[in-house]
Amino acid sequence: MIESVPNLSEGRDLEAIGRVGHAIQSAGARLLDVHVDGDHHRSVFTFVGGAEEIVAGALAMVEKAVARIDIRDHHGEHPRIGAVDVVPFVPLAGSSMANCISAAREAGEAIGARFGIPVYLYEAAASRPDRRNLADLRRGGLEGVATRMETEDGRPDYGPPHLHDRAGAIVVGARPFLVAYNVNLTSGDLAAARAIASAIRASGGGLPGVKALGVMLHSRGLAQVTMNLTDVGATTVPEAFEAVRVEAERRGVGVLESEIVGLAPRAALAGASAEDLLLTRPVEEIVLEERLADL
């Protein structure tokens, strides 16, 4: 079994989001979770299946998304370069990273050929070392990737060397578990959120395996520290929460709540309760193993 956690650049049109979810299930994959965020203008789908079902689900999702989403009209807090921004494949029990690399390349080639969308491969499926990091592929947003495509070195792995009018570009890859985790502060102090993110991210000498940004949730007037925990063996969710809390306290700001985007393996929570982490959902709703047990 393989898990896919695609990120869709749409977090406000609930009908469109519902149609994408239906398309994934109609293709034979099992949809476990949909996380919708209007401020980030982004939705994260979590679905599982064998290699055939997971690729079919990804293609069905892209087809529906291209018909409903125009990236040129998109304005949100989260970095993105496409209507379907990123499509990662993650090995579950009985699968391997090699299986996910194969699925990613099959899906990427089909997306490029069928929909005329430029596709870049990343992480374990990357065609070369400088394309492993998702942030590097997103650098400069749509304008940045469009400019790079004009050079031989910046050509996509699949599809045409120019952006799709509506869909932009897509990044497809294979990677280990990643936990997307957000902590909302008690105020709209964006400068504080950015300073906290800078202090805790790995690239700034903070927590290992942590990528972090400070953003505004305009609909609520709150600042948020949004994180990707890329190695939960090195930094668990409780450790990330505590680091944000301590840094926030240093700046005279409180922590209101936190949320897991999508699902997380049980080990990532390290035994912490929803109350410990001020989570917006019960633990049983966000633990991957619990959801798989329901299948």
Residues recognised as catalytic: 78
H or E element at residue 42 = strand 42-49
Cα angle vertex 8, ends 140, 106, to 5°? 90
Find tokens 């800078």 and name the residue: 198
End-to-end, the C-alpha distance of the chain in Å comes to 12
Q: How far apart are CA 274 and CA 258, in angstroms?
A: 9
Alpha helix positions (H), the chain:
14-26, 51-68, 97-115, 134-138, 141-149, 190-200, 237-250, 266-269, 274-277, 283-286, 288-293
Q: How far apart are CA 283 and CA 4, in angstroms?
A: 21
Cα angle vertex 215, ends 165, 194, to 5°? 130
| Tokens at 92, concatenated | 């579950």
Q: How far apart are CA 171 and CA 162, in angstroms?
A: 14
Q: Is 216 left (phi over 0), alpha (psi -120 to 50) or beta?
A: beta
3-state secondary structure of 137: helix
Q: How far apart are CA 254 and CA 264, in angstroms?
A: 25
3-state secondary structure of 63: helix
